[in-house]
Amino acid sequence: MTEPESSFLTLGIESSCDDSAVALLRGRRSVIAELLASQTESHAPFGGVVPEFAARQHLEAFLPLMEEVFRRGALSDPAKEIGLIAVTAGPGLMGSLLVGVMAAKALAMAWNVPLIAVNHLEGHMFANIVSFPDLEPPFLCMIVSGGHTEIVLAKDYGKYEFLGGTRDDAAGEAYDKVGKVLGLPYPGGPVIDRLANAGNPRAFDFPVPMKGNREVSFSFSGLKTAAVTEIARLRKENAEIPLEDVCASFQRAVVESLVGKLSLAVKMTGVTSVALSGGVAANSALRRELQKKKDWKVYLPPASRCTDNAVMIAAAGYSAFRRGVRSSLDLSPDPSWTLW
């Protein structure tokens, strides 16, 4: 029996890295309003996120974002209409997290509304719960972004088992590094993805990390080094760099590794519902490969839900609230908070 949608309103706040995001969620998955201020362009000249600069931009972004979300949600008295404030408290950059957490605490105190600290990675899992009404635990979730590459088994709401993650770089980090060495704009991931579609994935024999090893674990630093070394060799020989082929070959190895380890996780757990989240989940080759898995039920959220957003934080917070979780107003962010 599906339960009736609640009219309960949750305010979600996300500021773990370089996106300031605010959302209003009604019940489990009805998005009333959401806004996001991305800092990607302002960090681009530095080739990566500059933590101090990120925190300062969050500080400037949040008040106008909130006012606009309340306006779009047609809230006449947010203090009375909002029943819960859910905020990302980690993992992430300390300065960035602090801005969102302080804003959430101030509002919770002023409005006398409950507060929930949400783990950013649990939030990423909820990007799927929000997007797909038919998705229920147990399911596998691969979170693959600039900071994380891991596979988690969601046994139930709030009950997770970590199956494995990266031993070194995250997949997105490797994409961005190879992009930088190729002289592509930041972030490299989406650009490499686009160029790869016009290239030959077998042009370079880049190794598939951890292939054949019977563990759910990833490693992208060796692959990154192999690509960077090959680019340096071509440059030294004054050879023209076949951008599309390098991108396609690099992407082939990344995608083969991600899909291979997901297949292993499916075999180990017997769970065939497979969800994706994180920026790299937007990757076109990864999506194509997963869509070929006819024995699995694959959940691929839209790109805007894969990347950082406040809807997923509100959804994870509301779920925790219904399970009786509450956070105190003493809450401090934890940049290395691990949930599993």
Q: Read off φ and ψ for residue 248, nearest 5 degrees.
A: -65, -40
User: What's the rounded Cα separation, in Å, for the pair 118 and 93?
Assistant: 15
Residue 279, binding choice from ligand KG4, Zn ion, none, Cβ under 5 to 8 Å by partner class: ligand KG4
Q: Which residue, 216 or 286, has its beta carbon nearer to ligand KG4? A: 286
Q: How far apart are the first and last CA of the chain?
A: 30
CA nearest neighbour of 143 among 157, 129, 122: 122
Q: Does the protein bind ligand KG4 through residue 187 (CB under 6 A)?
A: yes
Contact status, residue 281 vs residue 226, Cβ threshold 8 Å: no
Interface stretch with Zn ion, choices 100-108, 153-161, 171-179, 304-312 (CB under 5 A): 304-312
Residue 289, binding choice from Zn ion, ligand KG4, none, Cβ under 5 to 8 Å by partner class: none
Q: Which residue, 176 or 289, has its beta carbon nearer to ligand KG4? A: 176
Interface stretch with ligand KG4, choices 51-59, 154-162, 231-239, 275-283 (CB under 6 A): 275-283
Q: Which residue, 278 or 317, has its beta carbon nearer to ligand KG4? A: 278
The nearest distance, CB 146 to ligand KG4, in angstroms, is 3
Q: Does the protein bind ligand KG4 through residue 14 (CB under 6 A)?
A: no
User: What's the rounded Cα separation, in Å, for the pair 75 and 235?
Assistant: 58
Contact status, residue 327 vs residue 333, Cβ threshold 8 Å: no
Pairing between strand 84-90 and 19-26? unpaired
Residue numbers 134-173 binding Zn ion by CB under 5 A: 145
DSSP conformation letters of 1-66: -PPPPP--EEEEEE-SSSEEEEEEEETTTEEEEEEEEE-HHHHGGGTS--HHHHHHHHHHHHHHHH
Residue 190, binding choice from Zn ion, ligand KG4, none, Cβ under 5 to 8 Å by partner class: ligand KG4
Q: Does the protein bind ligand KG4 through residue 282 (CB under 6 A)?
A: yes
DSSP conformation letters of 126-194: HHHHHH-TT--SSEEEEEESSS-EEEEEEEETTEEEEEEEBSS--HHHHHHHHHHHTTPPSSHHHHHHH
Which residues, at least 6 apart from 107, have a Cβ–Cβ distance to it below 8 Å? Answer: 11, 85, 113
Residue numbers 136-175 binding ligand KG4 by CB under 6 A: 145-147, 172, 175
Q: Which residue, 9 or 142, has its beta carbon nearer to Zn ion? A: 142
Interface stretch with Zn ion, choices 154-162, 247-255, 268-276, 308-316 (CB under 5 A): 308-316
Contact status, residue 114 vs residue 82, Cβ threshold 8 Å: no
CA nearest neighbour of 190 among 201, 206, 198, 179: 179
Among 122, 150, 169, 176, binds ligand KG4 (CB under 6 A): 176
The nearest distance, CB 328 to ligand KG4, in angstroms, is 27
Q: Does the protein bind ligand KG4 through residue 289 (CB under 6 A)?
A: no
Q: Which residue, 88 or 257, has its beta carbon nearer to Zn ion? A: 88
CA nearest neighbour of 335 among 116, 106, 117, 12: 117
Q: Which residue, 75 or 125, has its beta carbon nearer to ligand KG4? A: 125
Among 18, 19, 122, 308, binds Zn ion (CB under 5 A): 308
Q: Which residue, 146 or 301, has its beta carbon nearer to ligand KG4? A: 146
Q: Which residue, 26 or 120, has its beta carbon nearer to ligand KG4? A: 120
Q: Give the residues lining the site for ligand KG4 (CB under 6 A).
A: 17, 145-147, 172, 175-176, 187-190, 193, 278-280, 282-283, 307-308
Q: Give the residues lining the site for Zn ion (CB under 5 A).
A: 145, 308
